[in-house]
Structure formats: structure tokens, C-alpha cells
Chain A
């Protein structure tokens, strides 16, 4: 279940986001201390929280599944081949 998180693309995304957080919050705000830095940090964290929330829902959200037995019963004159997904154990619908 969690093994899917170990692919290089996803790890790259996490590293990129973490690096951005580090560069902005530490390197710029804390080390350089521009005058309005408290407000800039607050605004950044609001955006970053929405980013984390969206990311969590995108990663954990169920995309929707093909209903079971889809395509199993003979319909009309469907003589063509159907594509089948070995992971989901169902025929692939048109859309």
C-alpha cells in the first residue's frame, strides 16, 4: 500500500517542496530579515498549508473505481477486443 510512495518522481516532488520551504523560510526570511518578514512568513505558511492540504487529498483521495463486473456481460454487438486491467481486475471502459 505504501510501497507506491517510494518511486523517484514522488520522492523528487517531496524534496522539491521541502527545499523550497527551506530556501524561503530559512535562507531568505530568517537569514536576510527583510522588514516585513513576519507578514511574509504568515502569508507563505497560509499558501503552503493549502498546498499541503491539496497534495494530501490528491495523494490519498480515491480516484474512483470502475464498477465491478463492468463489461463482463455481453452487450449488443460488441465484437471488438476489450482492454483489461490486471491490477483492477476489470475491463477498461471507454472513459
Chain B
């Protein structure tokens, strides 16, 4: 168990880290898809209003506010997701990262066994299931949330 995340009202730990990452991933994917559909339609509407062929109404305002909120959160959550992808690829947890910030001369990360192995430790060895929210299969290397393989 690593740390409590209030946004999901649960702690993030070894057993649910993959689901937390996929949660962020699918929020971003849904936002990208929504924005890609909405922005052309919204631009068309704005042009129509400027030309005077359509009038302002409350639904247009709801769309405007909604699209702007989606775009803002897309930027913020993508940055946050990138931070977490870097953590996974370097086999570091949120608390590990905080410890290293407080104690910069603590030496290299002994749990870093290479980007691919670090990734597979969280997402499982079966690439077909990387994007599916099921528990990862970790046959080799035996990281179990209590002990992790070290690179020394």
C-alpha cells in the first residue's frame, strides 16, 4: 500500500496501481474523443452566431462552458498522467518519489529493473490485457507488493 488518493476515495497500492493508471488513461481518452467531436461542431456554431444566422441560447452557453472545462482538465490530467507514467517506468511509487525529493543524496533506485520490466510489473506480461482493467499476470520476477526484485 503506498498512499491514500482522495480523488478515488481509496489507497493506491501494488494491487490496484494498474487500475489507477487505466482510470487516468481512460479519462484522457474519453476527453480526447469528446473534444475531437465537440470542437468542430462548436466552431461551426460560433461561426453561425457571428454571421447572425443562429441565435445565442442557454444550450450554446452550456456547450461553451463544458468544452472549456473539458479542455482545461485534459491539459491538467495529461500532465499528471505523464508524471505517473514516469514513475511506473522508473519503478518508483508516489511515496518513493517524495522520499527522494526530501533526501536527494539517497543513491539510485534499487528497484529499477529497466523500463520494460518496470512497466510489466504494474501492467502484467500479457500485452492484450494492458488496457483492460483486469488484474495483471506476473509469472516471472515475483514482485508481490511486499518484496520486489532489486537490481543489485
Contacts and interface: CB of A to CB of B under 8 A. Distances in A.
A64 B13 contact: yes
A16 interface: yes
A11 B8 CA distance: 9
- The contact size tier of chain B is 35 or more
A40 B6 contact: no
Interface in B1-47: 1-2, 6-17, 19-20, 22-23, 25-27, 29-31, 33-34, 37-38, 41, 45
B16 A20 contact: no
User: Taking chain A's interface residues, is the majority helix, strand, or loop, or is none over half, making it mixed?
Assistant: helix
A20 B34 contact: yes
Interface of B: 1-2, 6-17, 19-20, 22-23, 25-27, 29-31, 33-34, 37-38, 41, 45, 59, 62-63, 66-67, 69-70, 73, 93, 95-96, 111, 131-133, 145-146, 148
